[in-house]
Chains A and B, each alone.
Chain A
Amino acid sequence: MKKNKSENEKKSVSISPKKLRWLYSSMYRIRRFEETMLEQTFKGNAMGVTHPSDGQEAGPVGICAHLTDKDWIGSTHRGHGHCIAKGLETNRMMAEIMGRSTGQCHGKGGSMHIADFSKGMLGANAIVGASIPLAVGAALTSKYKNNEKKSVAVAFFGDGATSQGVLHESMNLSSIWKLPVIFACENNGYAEATPSWYAVSTDDIASRAEGYGIPGLQVDGMDVFSVYDAAEQAVKRARSGEGPTFLEIKTYRYHGHFHADDPKKYRKQEEEDYFKSKDCLISFEERVTESGLMTSEDLNEIRNEIEEEIKKATDFALTSPMPDHDELYKDVYVEYSNSLLGLR
């Protein structure tokens, strides 16, 4: 087990201005997207169940900062952050959550199923653990094709998924085949309402990787620079054919399990306050302004741009039509036929 505490202290001051801007705008975009989505959910415009990830933004952003559209990610039911960090458009995401025809999946998927293969986004996934082997499969393809700059796959999952057998199968497979995979465990302390101190047999989930011959690291998931640094190494390892890495990203979700869940029933206010005091946006702002990398005007400008973008995305979704009747029958099979669809 390698810990990267001392390395974390350096905090990537070498990041380019452009990348710094991307890190902040992506985290802020996720935050404002989800806050707006929740407003729309309670207004009845966004339907079904939504699982906000606010508080966890540094994880997906710090990792996806090293990825291109040719790299893959597998996501979870709490997937908006992964989608945005991987470059999906907020207007089509918002439209999907509202079940509109202009949505990312034409309204068929909803919040928990947003996918965009053109961006290397294998899909949010409502089944805990189910997306992990899909990411491993994408990594196998990359190895098989043996492309020069090997594409990598990141499997995002939560602490809850570490209890599913399929994670352990996937870790073993990717280790014996030396696949370019990053196992990104976003440990927010709770599997729905069940705390990880109860449901997970160790407080060092990353240490489990050792049993599969995979390096495991615990990372401060409230600090985007820590995640960025750790992911840089993991992605480098994967691209150079050295195999998988396991990152346990210690993080926190500010909201409950889903939009209407009251987390006060199973966790303490002090805990929430503690993590909010380490908020990834605030700590980023302090860091870059204190070190003179960005000014508060720069940050303000980014926030204004994002506010405008999210407002436009919401208007786009609200004014988009619902799907056509025919859309229901499309895309079940490669070929369309009445008999396949049970139509007469």
Chain B
Amino acid sequence: MSVISVIEAVRKTIFMEMKRDKKIFILGEDVASRGGVFLATDGLLEEFGDQRVIDTPLAESSICGVAIGAAVNGMRPIAEIQFADFVWPAINQIVGEASKIRYGTFGKKKCPITIRIPYGGGVRGGLYHSQSIEVLFAHTPGLKVIAPATPYDAAGLLRSSIRNDDPVVFLEHKKTYRLVKGEVPDNDYSIPLGKAEVKKVGNDITVITYGLMLHYVLQAAEECKHFGINVEVLDLRCLRPIDSETIVQSVNKTGRALIVQEDTRAISVSSEVAAIIAEDCFFDLDAPIKRLTPIEIPPMPFSPIQEAEYMPSKIKIVKSIRELLEI
């Protein structure tokens, strides 16, 4: 057991997995000699050589397409997209190709790729280095979409993603990379894909969230103790498949649900979670479902004041919780 950051957890897991399985290789922009723009693959070139850690030209569509081609031929590639905002040229390959391979070949072909994508804002990245892109992938049958928030979950879920035989979009919130540290076992534990986790037990309200927002929600839950509110915090961790069982269990217990996300509101993960709660918890709800999200403007303005206003924060979360409980 050691205390490491999210980025270290990602790097350590890739390292261990590549040691274990020679079919795994990495490709992406500046992943080899530079070790990745966020240093997620630092030192891997020295350990595994340039046949397994491959710098690519700036060509996201090809990075993903080539990874898919290798995957259907028995390899287990890990593709890195440098920033989520750069993924759009690769959408045809991920949504149009990877998601359909198993279904279109009557289960004869599998596509075991892991596409790692740093996403999210709050880092003064402005319009093209801050986006939340999860909903497009989470909408796509055939893909799995993972969004961990802690080093422990990042390592355990990344290991499962790499070992999984389906295409996985693995979203890493770049603000958590160095900000969030936590204990990670040294062994090769894994966390099943598709399971949410209650990060804090409570009984007055369930706050459902994922990614960076988990940490703000946990801080808000701590502050809510001063108002006598005992918050249950549920981290989705996986956006497809989404763990409706854990959501329903928790909301049926507390009777109140607040969904917090960094992505804009309409047609988003929060829409799906709200629908699940409306369908399955209706008779146990003591209050309407509430969502805390940024407003519907293109993510996200650069100026620090505007960025802060855009992003959900601890203060905004506490306010929403209190509104819902009328305290």
Contacts and interface: CB of A to CB of B under 8 A. Distances in A.
Interface stretch (B3-11, B221-229, B251-259, B301-309): B301-309
Contacts of A332: 296-298
Contacts of B58: 128-129, 160-161, 163-164, 191-192, 194, 199
Given A48-B126, A49-B129, A128-B86, A199 B302 contact: no
A15 interface: no
A266 B89 contact: no
A127 B265 contact: no
Interface string A91-132: 000000001100100111111110000000000011111000
B301 A126 contact: no
Contacts of B304: 47, 99, 322
Contacts of B86: 127-128
B310 interface: yes
B178 interface: no
A292 interface: no
A325 B55 CA distance: 43
Contacts of A99: 302-306
B85 A342 contact: no
Contacts of B164: none
Interface residues of B, number: 39
A341 B297 contact: yes
A343 B123 CA distance: 25
B39 to A, nearest CB: 11
A126 B131 CA distance: 13
B126 A126 contact: yes
Interface string B96-130: 00000000000000000000000000011111110
A191 B56 CA distance: 10
Nearest to A103: B303
Contacts of B37: 192
Interface in A287-344: 322-323, 325, 327-329, 332, 340-343
A174 B310 CA distance: 40
A341 B88 CA distance: 24
Given A107-B303, A127-B86, A199-B58, A112 B128 contact: yes
Contacts of A194: 29-30, 33-34, 55, 57-58
A301 B59 CA distance: 46
A112 B85 CA distance: 13
A132 to B, nearest CB: 12
Contacts of A106: 303
A173 interface: no
Contacts of A340: 296
A321 B33 CA distance: 42
Contact of A325 (B61, B62, B309): B309
Interface residues of A, number: 45
B117 to A, nearest CB: 15
A65 interface: no
Nearest to A125: B128
Nearest to B61: A165
B266 interface: yes
Given A48-B124, A192-B29, A332-B296, A107 B302 contact: yes
A200 B296 contact: no
A323 B305 contact: yes
B85 A126 contact: yes
Given A128-B86, A163-B58, A165-B61, A328 B128 contact: no
Of A99, A103, A129, most buried by chain B (CB within 10 Å of CB) is: A99
Of B62, B89, B302, B304, most buried by chain A (CB within 10 Å of CB) is: B302
Of B56, B59, B126, most buried by chain A (CB within 10 Å of CB) is: B126
A49 B30 contact: no
B264 interface: yes
B180 interface: no
Given A47-B124, A129-B58, A108 B295 contact: no
A195 to B, nearest CB: 9
Interface in B62-117: 62, 85-86, 88-89
Contacts of A192: 29-30, 34, 37, 58
A133 B231 CA distance: 50
Contacts of B126: 48, 108-113, 126
16 contacts: A99-B305, A106-B303, A160-B57, A163-B57, A163-B58, A163-B59, A164-B89, A165-B59, A194-B29, A194-B33, A200-B57, A265-B34, A266-B33, A322-B304, A341-B296, A342-B296
Given A99-B302, A328-B295, 20 more contacts: A47-B302, A47-B304, A103-B303, A110-B303, A125-B128, A126-B127, A127-B88, A129-B58, A160-B57, A161-B58, A164-B59, A191-B57, A191-B58, A192-B34, A194-B57, A199-B56, A342-B266, A342-B293, A342-B295, A342-B296
**Would you list the 10 A-B pairs with minimal beta carbon distance, nearest first?**
A107-B303, A163-B57, A99-B303, A110-B302, A126-B128, A48-B124, A342-B296, A199-B57, A193-B34, A110-B126
